[in-house]
């Protein structure tokens, strides 16, 4: 699995691109939504780079609405620049497949700003002995495209008290990851309700948002370093579940927060 190949886009005109999702990004239903989101980020970054923005401008927040399932194959990405301010650049990306809109995205890009610096975020989980590599059979699948090790208590369909994933992950190839990879990874894990449930059930993402707390744009992991991650579905009612997630750098710095709304049950 080559991440740079997965993120390749062909530019059709100034604001339109096409990309391809192959079998390495097969999810439980169709194409993995996280890799579609990452391609939308890649398209948006290409457009704003042509606007002459500050080179320190990176994605800081994004929301993706999945209005229809994405299938493996070709996708189109139409980027609209909503506003280019002195620092903040906001774009919309519409993803379509076979002439039908599948995903709508709202993205905000900016260089770092001066402001308060503090964090009351939870500390990352400590990795215990006995973590297990998550895999999905021997066939290509999005779960096999990241090296992720689950907490021993994190099991599929285990009837756990908490609907939660705890994991330590890194890119499958190479030590450096970028903003699109981070956006993909924020949507990498199966529905957290699967750890609380005892049988398979519907858990389709309808909205995914990520906030990135660093303007670096790319990060390097040393040998043996992993990203601690936690995803918790803290509420499920009337067929909708809400998940909150956190991704930390190996030194414990909070790198990103996520939230998903899922059709569940």
Q: Give the orientation angle of helix 179-186 with respect to helix 33-49, to 10 degrees.
A: 150
- Asked if residues 104 and 95 have their Cβ atoms less than 8 Å apart, the reply is yes
DSSP state of 44: H
CATH number at 72 reads 2.40.160.210
- Report the distance separating Cα 52 and Cα 148, nearest Å: 37
* Residue 119 domain-assigned (yes or no): no
Mean pLDDT estimate for the chain: 92
The predicted model gives 51-70 an average pLDDT of 94
The stretches of the chain forming alpha helices (DSSP H) are 3-6, 33-49, 179-186, 193-196
* Residue 12 domain-assigned (yes or no): yes
* Residue 192 domain-assigned (yes or no): yes
Higher-pLDDT residue of 28, 102: 102
The reported pLDDT for the residue numbered 265 is 60
The predicted model gives 114-119 an average pLDDT of 89
* Residue 32 domain-assigned (yes or no): yes
DSSP state of 122: P
- Report the distance separating Cα 25 and Cα 75, nearest Å: 14
- pLDDT confidence of 86, banded at 50, 70, 90? confident
Higher-pLDDT residue of 77, 236: 77
pLDDT in tens, 212-229: 999 999 999 999 999 999
Q: Which domain holds residue 73?
A: 3-112+130-264
**Domains: count for the chain:** 1
* Residue 195 domain-assigned (yes or no): yes
pLDDT in tens, 158-216: 777 888 999 999 998 888 999 999 999 999 988 877 777 767 776 789 999 999 999 99
- Asked if residues 74 and 18 have their Cβ atoms less than 8 Å apart, the reply is yes
Tokens of 260: 């998903």
Closest CA to 19 of 40, 47, 2: 40
* Residue 122 domain-assigned (yes or no): no
The predicted model gives 110-117 an average pLDDT of 91
DSSP state of 24: G
* Residue 141 domain-assigned (yes or no): yes
- Report the distance separating Cα 189 and Cα 159, nearest Å: 17
* Residue 7 domain-assigned (yes or no): yes
């Amino acid at each position: 699995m080559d991440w740079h190949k997965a993120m390749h886009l062909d530019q059709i005109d100034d604001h339109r691109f096409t990309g391809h999702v192959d079998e390495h990004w097969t999810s439980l239903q169709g194409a993995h939504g996280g890799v579609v989101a990452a391609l939308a980020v890649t398209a948006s970054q290409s457009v704003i780079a042509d606007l002459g923005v500050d080179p320190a401008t990176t994605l800081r927040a994004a929301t993706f609405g999945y209005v229809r399932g994405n299938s493996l194959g070709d996708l189109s990405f139409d980027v609209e620049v909503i506003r280019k301010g002195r620092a903040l650049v906001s774009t919309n990306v519409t993803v379509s497949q076979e002439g039908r809109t599948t995903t709508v995205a709202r993205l905000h890009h900016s260089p770092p700003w001066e402001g308060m610096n503090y964090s009351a975020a939870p500390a990352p989980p400590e990795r215990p002995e006995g973590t297990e590599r998550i895999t999905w059979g021997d066939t290509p699948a999005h779960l096999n495209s990241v090296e992720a090790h689950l907490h021993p208590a994190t099991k599929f369909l285990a009837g756990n008290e908490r609907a939660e994933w705890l994991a330590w992950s890194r890119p499958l190839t190479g030590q450096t990851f970028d903003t699109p990879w981070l956006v993909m990874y924020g949507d990498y894990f199966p529905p957290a309700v699967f750890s609380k449930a005892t049988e398979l059930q519907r858990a389709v993402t309808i909205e995914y948002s990520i906030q990135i707390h660093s303007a670096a744009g790319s990060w390097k992991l040393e040998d043996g370093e992993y990203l601690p991650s936690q995803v918790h579905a803290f509420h499920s009612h009337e067929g909708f579940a809400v998940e909150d997630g956190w991704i930390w750098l190996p030194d414990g710095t909070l790198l990103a927060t996520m939230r998903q709304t899922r059709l569940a049950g």
